Each structure stands twice: as structure tokens, then as C-alpha cells.
Chains A and B, each alone.
Chain A
């Protein structure tokens, strides 16, 4: 079974790819934090951050197909925002503007909020995808642990990364075994068979967890993870963090506090 996982998004060559993973994490985090702190009364900074994210995206030269597929996941959220925000009671009495000539009237502040939320969500997602696509899961996990992220959270993330594909494969095998024995339900969710399959999948994952744990103990695990030391930081790694922070602050405050 084909597993939609980050190898498809990854590109190994490019200017961003060569940077130290820790510096990339810090730089992108700085930009994201600055972008979410933009006040909702202004539209320009959000647009500027979106442009900055687009610029980094171009620099990263990620493959468009997988990238768009992941961005599509945002659509339902954005649609919900666009529908719900203008209906809020908070805008009673605010002046209204037409969306297009002779179009529906919406409160001006609602429009601003909807724009800000959507732009920020898009910016954050694009930046996260660029970071993931130019770094890769192993290096990213290692960078987070070197930045002293909680070890257990990282452990969980790393196991999810390692075993998602295995689980999907297992589910696929069960599905095939079910179909091979003549099961002809039209919809997967029409049947208790799915429930039983998920139950089995859960038990198998649970038992796999125990066996993995034993395999770790058998090789002398003492509760710590070690990884190869990364290459020493180069001036351009630090410069990248500096640039991202400076750009974030500049865009954030260019239109006032």
C-alpha cells in the first residue's frame, strides 16, 4: 500500500536543505511566532508574512503535487472560518461592505478577522511543510531533542513516524484477508467487521509495542536515546536564525505595534 508520508514531500538538494536542522527549527519558529502575534485589526502584516512564507517555499523547491495535497487539508478549516465568522453577533452595528459589486454585505471587522485567521493558518502550514520537506523526519526529531524538547513527546513522535506505515500495511493485509474470504460489504463502515478489524489492529499494535520494548531492553536500553553529533554550526546557520528573526520582527512591527 502506498503510504502518504514525508518521503514524497522531501527534496534533498537546495539552499535550505544544507542548513543545520536546529537553526532551521529556531528560525522557522521565530517567523511563525511573529506571524501569529499580528493583531487582527490589520491586514497588511498577515499578507506580508504570507508572502515571506511563499518566498521560502520557492527557495525550498518542494514538489508541487504532494505539497498541494497537504495544503488541501486546510480547506475545510478555512471554509468553516469564512462561513462562521461573519455570522457572529459581535459585529452588530459595525459598518458593512459588499464582497463584490451587488454582492452580499458583510461586516468589515468580520472580513478582517476571517482574512487574518486564514492567512495565518496558511502561513503556519506552509512554513511547517517547508521545514519538514527540507529537513526530513530523522534530522528534525534529532534537532528537537538537541533543543531539549520533552523526550517522551519526541519518542512518541518518532514511533509514530516509524510505525504508521507498518500499521497501514497491517490494516491493508487484514482487509485483503477479509475480501479474500468473500466479504462483499459495499461500504467499509456499514459493518461490524470494520470494528473487529480495528480492535484487532489495536491489540496487535499494543502487543507490538511490548515486543519493541523488549527488543530495546535486549540491546541494553537505559532510558536514553543517543544520536550522532551534528556537524559544527557554521556562520551561515546562525545567520539564518538572525535573518528569520529580523524578518519576523520587521514584518510584525512595520505597520505599528
Chain B
């Protein structure tokens, strides 16, 4: 039997300034699921995604594809989980777009010819072919969002963890992004406020509230319950 893509048990995390960001959070994501993480500002979505990648050090256990997120496993895990930050300027730090998209595959130790095809395929998937030599600050915001996605697609991760991928995108860029995500394989965890994106891309939804899971279900179930959405200040 294949283990769940992500299995979280009793996760608790407090920021150094004392903010309780996650409290006894438990969650299981089956392999291949497309899960929307919904929740109002400050619900703990970004914090949770950072924990998945071993970038925060919470109490409790996280297993990714059956492997616990602990220091010795981090290198292998980070190759499996592609984490895209909310702000593309944090994600694109190399002199050229090519180097940014090649950064992950090179860290995985791939030979240069494979790196080349990975970069090419990833940029093609997000519709940025031919911009390899551009610097990130010469891209438009929508292009930067897609470039940020390409930087992890090139690593061929089994799990995509995306933080607000559609924030600040205009409707058309949003639709293009949804199409890219639908075409990308693997398990998806998408933290978002964008209900349309959740409907377009995801099959399941997890509603977070004050660092806990408030409800879980299909996207239609979660988004259909207006009363509950109001309770968690999403409507």
C-alpha cells in the first residue's frame, strides 16, 4: 500500500515572538490529491507549508510519502516537495531566469544536459519559452509568478506546495495558471484565498482557522457551507 503523500499528526508551532501559528494540527493527504488550503489571513497556511519543507521546526510529526521530516532526510525531501513562495521576488534570486530554473536540478546533482532539458520543459510548461537569459526584474509580475512555479517544476517534485499562486494575477493570467496547474502531475497543496482557483484546480479542500483544521471535504462541500465560511471569516 502506498503511504499518504503527506501525513501530519498533532503539529504545533510557535514563532519566536510567541505567536501560536499552528495548534495540534492533523491532516492526511492521499497521493495524487489536489488539495486547497483555505483560511483567512493569519490562519497558518504559509507556516504549514514551511513546516512541510522542514523550514520551520514544529512539535509533532510530519511524514512525506512515508518519510519523516527530520534533518537527515531533508535533502531527499526537498527534492520531493516543490515549495513556491507567495512573493516571486523571494523565489527568483539568480542573475538570469535560466539559472533560477536550473538552481533546483543542479542542487540535485543532475548532469548539465539533463538540467538543460528540465529547464526547457519547465519554462515551456509555464509558457515562458525563450526568456531564459532575462533577468527576473525585467519580467512582469504575472510572468514572475509563472517563473517561480517553473523553478520547482524543473525539479519534478512529487508534491507541489504553492503559497497563494494566483495572488495579484489578473483574470486571464489566473486562468493560464490554473491550466498549468491542472496539467502538472503529482499531489498539490495550494494555500489560497482564491475560491475560483480552488474550484478549477482542486478536488479537496481543507479549511484552516487559527492554526487548526476546521473542516475537510470536497471543494464543493467546503465552499457550499456559507455559514461555516462566515464563522472562519472567509465570507
Contact = CB atoms under 8 A, between A and B. Distances in A.
Interface stretch (B28-36, B99-107, B193-201, B226-234): B99-107
B152 interface: yes
A88 interface: no
Contact of A219 (B115, B135, B136, B155): B155
A18 to B, nearest CB: 16
Given A218-B78, A219-B104, A226-B106, A166 B89 contact: yes
B221 to A, nearest CB: 31
Most buried by A among B82, B96, B135, B137: B137
B15 to A, nearest CB: 13
B83 interface: yes
Interface string B95-131: 1101100111011100010011000000000000000
A138 B96 contact: yes
Contact of B107 (A161, A163, A219, A227): A219
Give chain A's interface secondary structure class.
Answer: helix
Interface residues of A, number: 28
Given A166-B137, A211-B85, A214-B50, A221 B93 contact: no
Contact of B55 (A137, A214, A220, A222): A214
A211 B107 contact: no
A208 interface: yes
A220 B135 contact: no
Give chain B's interface secondary structure class.
Answer: helix
A228 B91 CA distance: 20
Given A165-B137, A166-B137, A229-B112, A220 B94 contact: no
A188 interface: no
Contact of A141 (B95, B98, B112): B95
A159 B99 contact: no
Interface string A205-243: 000100110111111111000111100000000000000
A125 interface: no
Given A159-B93, A165-B137, A218 B83 contact: yes
Contacts of B93: 159, 162-163, 212, 215-216
B95 A222 contact: no
Contacts of A137: 95
Interface in A162-215: 162-163, 165-166, 208, 211-212, 214-215
Given A141-B95, A158-B95, A162-B137, A222 B90 contact: no
Contacts of B138: 7
B91 A220 contact: no
B78 A162 contact: no
Given A138-B95, A141-B95, A162-B136, A219 B55 contact: no
Contacts of A218: 53, 55, 78, 81, 83, 85
Interface string A2-22: 010001000000000000000
A2 B95 CA distance: 19
A158 to B, nearest CB: 6
B89 A208 contact: yes
Contact of A220 (B79, B96, B136): B79
Contacts of B108: 220
Contacts of A215: 83, 85, 90-91, 93
Given A218-B53, A228-B115, 13 more contacts: A138-B135, A141-B95, A161-B95, A165-B137, A214-B55, A215-B93, A216-B103, A218-B55, A218-B83, A219-B104, A220-B107, A221-B103, A228-B98
Closest 10 pairs (CB-CB, A-B): A138-B95, A226-B106, A219-B104, A220-B107, A211-B90, A218-B83, A165-B137, A220-B78, A218-B53, A215-B91
17 contacts: A162-B93, A162-B137, A163-B89, A208-B89, A211-B85, A212-B90, A212-B93, A214-B50, A215-B91, A217-B55, A218-B78, A219-B83, A219-B103, A220-B79, A220-B108, A228-B112, A228-B116
Interface of B: 50, 53, 55, 75, 78-79, 81-83, 85, 87, 89-91, 93-96, 98-99, 102-104, 106-108, 112, 115-116, 133, 135-138, 151-152, 155
